[in-house]
Structure 1
Amino acid sequence: GQGLANAVGLALAARMTAAQWNNNDCNIFGQNFTYCFCGDGDMMEGISHEASSFAGHLGLGKLICFYDSNRITIDGSTDLTFTEDVAMRFRAYHWHVREIDGHNHEKIAEAIELAQAESDRPSLIIAKTHIGFGSPNKQDTSAVHGTPLGEEELKLTKKTLGFPENESFYIPNEVKKEFQAYNDMQTLDYKKWQAGLEKWKSAYPNAYKKYKAQISKNLPVDLRKTILDGLSGKNNSTRAHSGNILQEIAKNVSGLVGGSADLGASDKTALKGKGSITPNDFSGRNIHYGIREFAMGAIMNGMALYGNGFIPYAGTFLVFSDYMRSAIRMSALMKNQVIYVFTHDSIFVGEDGPTHQPIEQIMSLRLIPGLQVIRPADEKETAEAWLAALAYKEGPTALILTRQKLPELHENDHNGITDFNKGAYVIKDTIKQPEAVICASGSELFICMEAAEKLSKEGHNIRVVSVPSYETFLKQEQLYKDSVIPKGSTSVITVEAGRTFGWGNITYNTGLHLGIDQFGSSAPQQILAEKFGFTAETVYNKVKAWLTKVKV
């Protein structure tokens, strides 16, 4: 079902591209049709409902989907589980719907032409077909759904369809001629488009310069300085810091477009003064996805693939990342530069209770290969996290942000944080060889620094390491990792308001892992911090007890 949502993203990106670059005397951008092929299984999947509803609302008229309705799945006939009227369903979504014989070429061509003429609605062409068409013994059965016909049945099928029985991968000459003629026509169309681009380039050189910069995703050379110079230096939640930083980035990176799953005011993802995408206006940069997390993730993948240099981002609560996990996985698999803004990142969402309190989500996201997961601890780290996400063109990034306010820990780091992009770095050190290294991320970093300060006053040599990106640190050269966490007898204590599973990989040293391996509770933030041990006093007591234990 994700392919349908990807197609919606491609069609949306085309409309946005057209609105961004076309003008009265030049109309070459975003004029393509987007075609999608779906099966019975796609229509059953929930994401097809989310994405199709969204596409119908926006009136994505150049989106044309073929539904190959052969009414067979692996277990047998779709009558086992799927008897709804798909045509009526899509008409309710405000789609243009045609039902045809999927083996009638003239009807297929006619349906495509009618769909192309439909400018205000996406189109669904329901093609009634026979799975295994031409197979004497397996047509219209689940036996042909995911299993080869077999040599004998293949010969019989070729005979039925009028193909040479003993030739493999046979392509008739008339088919080759048709495709060659089409290829020649497409080559001419491409040359016409290139001529139009040259005309636009000459008439609008400044726009062309911006277009080239956007499609190459080249960031302004002074972006880092601009972002760092604009920081407030005040204590706030990292979601609030993110929202402020996002406004500055949007002024300088024209390809950054995004929205949220009906949580823009809460996760601070709305771009001020940049307009919203509506059925009648695609020039905005804010996208209202509605409460459709899975479709949102897959639509962003389509947008990232379109080729206009879009860098899509979207926000929701971290606990709801589970709803869109498969789309996140696909973005990593396809190496799409997509940015996920996940706020309300721990039990400290408070009274909403365990249904809204993420426990396993942070570590589970870290398990996805190629997904850059960053959990910043204050404003400076949040700025560095956004800069890292923009620089990471080889895959997606998940920013993990707090609801609650946090103190600023980098008041004197005016030029940024050295070694932030290595995933972990020393934020508080000791003159002597450390007895213990406390590693923490996000909202737990400041309580660890307070605990370390108290231990230091008692004569303990404690180093504190910020770990904004756990998996990035694990990829570093051993020499750097050893410089941050010395090998040998140094104890390592990790602190994060999430599952402790996985933190043992950060070092081979003896370790104590403080986290939460159960579901949370409904209570005010401070009570939860005390109950689950995320206070400076609790960390101090547990580290002190641990140091006493390992010395015995």
Structure 2
Amino acid sequence: MTSTLRSSGVFDIIKQFGQWGSRTPGHPEYGHTPGVEVTTGPLGQGISAAVGMALAERWQAARFNRPGYEVMNHRTFVIAGDGDLMEGVSSEACSLAGHWQLGRLIVLYDDNHISIDGSTGIAFTEDARQRYEAYGWHTLRIDGHDREAVAAAIQEALDEASRPSLIACRTTIGYGSPNRAGTAKVHGEPLGAEEIRLTKENLDWPYEEPFIVPEGADQPLKTAARKGQAAHAQWRELMAEYEKAHPDLAAELRRAFRGELPPNWDAAMPEFDGKPLATRAASGQTLNAIIGNNPDMLGGSADLTGSNKTITSGAKDIQAGQYDGRYIRYGVREHGMGAIMNGLSLHGVIPYGGTFLVFSDYMRGAIRLAALMNQGVIYVFTHDSIGLGEDGPTHQPIEHLAALRAMPNLTVIRPADAWETAVAWKVALQNRATPTALALTRQKLPELARDKAEGLANGAYIVSDAPDFQAILIASGSEVSIAINAQKLLAEQGIAARVVSMPSWELFEAMPQSYQDEILPPAITARVSMEAGVTQGWERYTGSSGITLGINHFGASAPYETIYREFGLTPEAMADAAQSLL
């Protein structure tokens, strides 16, 4: 890819490949290297994101195209290797591509039978072409070194309207190298000076100096570039006419691709009745309120729609040939969902997808790439703690909040009640350059302070204060109401305590130090934190003198009230901890 971009004149910095400060890193990085449309280092992620791109094209075509104005009508091309097809994430995503009949998706599969360990015969012997046919794909097998065969296969794929295409291109890795061609050594090792000399000799390449592009060698690329420029000029002319005929739609299209929210995006927000409500339910009500004014949003769930509360009233499903819906049924494919959402986001869509928090592990690779690419993907992670109760330790997330918080450029928000949840959605929608993970409860939580909930945007705020407070009680999510009850117990003992709701470490640490010190005054060292997960990391807020209450072991099967009591997550335990520090 890098050599092709260099030969096509996009840049001339290939000599710095993989070096400090270079724009040509060891693997393609979106936003870093010109011409790179998606970060694809981890195998399987590129082809899976491409499924999202191809779906986005069809969804936006259904939304924006009008008779005589097909402003969305392009195809998505992928070059993938054996490793990409081995990865499970590609199986998840490509199964959906076949189900959705994404006929504008074309994959050139570099079928060279080599991976890092050696021949693919040691671990990858199924007929990948037949597997993709079973997914509902149109497949071809060709000699990947025969340019005419490649061109003919691409044309056949272009003519296939209702099925994505996989073109299995049988190739030889390291083609031309007398001693390395067709071996695993050529995958990641330099050929060496002598083998380079022999390869040039074998290919009748007369130039001894490296990085030489002979005069005229770039003509095919320049010809292709001219064709592309002409096609783009035609599209710009069509777009100009479209803007005259449909000015509102044209403005919407341009706004979506700029990554801007509509002017009235937060005009409709939910009203809650003051009754206890699970934050997953509050999230569902918030979605119902805001989605009408946010037409770029496209939701879904990995087979947990009823539990995640991710579908909105009247939303149609996206299915084959029906791309005008607002909801995606991903099936039990968390990793595929994450990767597809990356492709959707790169294509001007605001995607959100739901699953249980414990299953965020399944999609971690895709979440990491969203963070690396600065994509505003929104993850709706419900059943966020031992509060899910009887389903037991297999489904109770313990280490997951800490694991997500450890990831750079990911905003994790764990709201404490319905009002905080509504604000969390506002923050997530405004975070267009940062993915957001919402951690939401299964159990009902009491309503706290509606007039203070906007403080969530600051990451932490004072939810309940006391004059001349001696201790600070810090909590997130479902444990904030426990902290408020602990505050009352301390007050009965003549101890004044401040309660801080801290739904997001990342948002709090982005605030000025003066604000952080206002919420957590350095002079007050008697601090206790509580969260129904591992205590790792909370010491940065409690300080070396404080106490962190949480769960540093797996959960148990029982009603959630029992589990909280048995694991010591109670108002009494928090009050006792605070008292012990005074």
Output the TM-score relative to the length of structure 2. Answer: 0.90
After TM superposition, list the pairs within 5 Å mapping 1:132-147 onto structure 2. 132-147=174-189
The residue type paired with residue 294 of structure 2 is: V
Distance of 2:370 and 2:266 partners within structure 1? 26
Letter of the 1:335 counterpart: N
Deviations 1:119-171 (A, max 9, x none): 11101011111111010111111111100101111121111112124032233
- Determine the structure 2 residue equivalent to 1:292: 333
Deviation at 1:479, TM superposition (A): 1.6
Aligned length: 539
Please point out which of 450, 453, 467 is paired with 1:431. 467
For residues 483 and 83 of structure 2, what CA distance do their matches in structure 1 show? 50
Written as runs of structure 1 = structure 2, the 5 A alignment for 1:123-522 is: 123-224=165-266, 226-227=268-269, 230-306=271-347, 309-411=348-450, 413=451, 417-432=453-468, 434-508=469-543, 510-522=545-557
Asked whether 1:24 is paired with 2:67, we answer: yes
SS at 1:393's partner residue? coil
Moved more, 231-240 or 187-196: 231-240
CA distance in 2 between partners of 1:192 and 1:459 (Å)? 77
Sequence identity of aligned pairs in percent?
47
- Does structure 2 retain, via aligned residues, the 8 Å contact 1:304–1:311? yes
8 A contact 2:283–2:422 mirrored in 1: yes
Contact 1:437/1:491 (8 A) holds in 2: yes
Residue 164 of structure 2: aligned partner? 122
- In 2, distance between residues paired with 1:94 and 1:314? 24
Contact 2:381 2:439 in 1 (8 A): yes
Give me the whole-angstrom Cα distance separating, in 1, the residues matched to 2:65 and 2:403.
Answer: 43
> Alpha-carbon deviation of 1:417?
3.2
Indicate conservation of the 8 Å contact 2:267/2:293, yes or no.
Answer: no
TM-score where L is the length of structure 1: 0.95
Q: Is the 8 A contact 1:350 1:528 kept in 2?
A: yes
CA contact (8 A) 2:269 2:289 kept: yes
User: What secondary structure does 2:574 align onto?
Assistant: helix
Does the aligned pair in 2 maintain the 1:97–1:124 contact within 8 Å? yes
The alignment status of 1:6 with 2:49, answered yes or no, reads yes
Query: What letter matches 2:284 in structure 1?
Result: G
Aligned: 1:58 with 2:97: no
Aligned residue identity for 1:26:
Y
Q: Quick check: 2:489–2:572 contact (8 Å CA) kept in 1?
A: no
Alignment partner of 1:97: what SS? strand
Change (3 A) 1:222 1:96: closer
Deviation of residue 296 (structure 1)?
A: 0.4
Q: How far has the Cα of 1:208 moved from its partner? A: 2.2
Q: Which runs of 5+ in 2 are unaligned?
A: 1-43
Kept after mapping to 1: 8 A contact 2:385/2:398: yes
Gapped runs of 5+ residues in structure 1?
none
* Aligned-partner SS, 2:528: strand
Do the aligned partners of 2:525 and 2:542 also contact (CA within 8 Å) in 1?
no
What CA distance in whole angstroms lies between the structure 2 residues aligned with 1:298 and 1:124?
19
SS of residue matched to 1:227 = coil
Shift, 1:369, TM fit: 0.4
Which deviations, in whole Å up to 9, do the C-alpha atoms of 1:361-385 show, x marking residues without a partner? 0111001100000000011100110
RMSD: 1.5
Give the direction of change, closer, same or farther, for the CA distance of 1:446–1:351 in structure 2 (3 Å limit): same
Match of 2:3 in 1: none
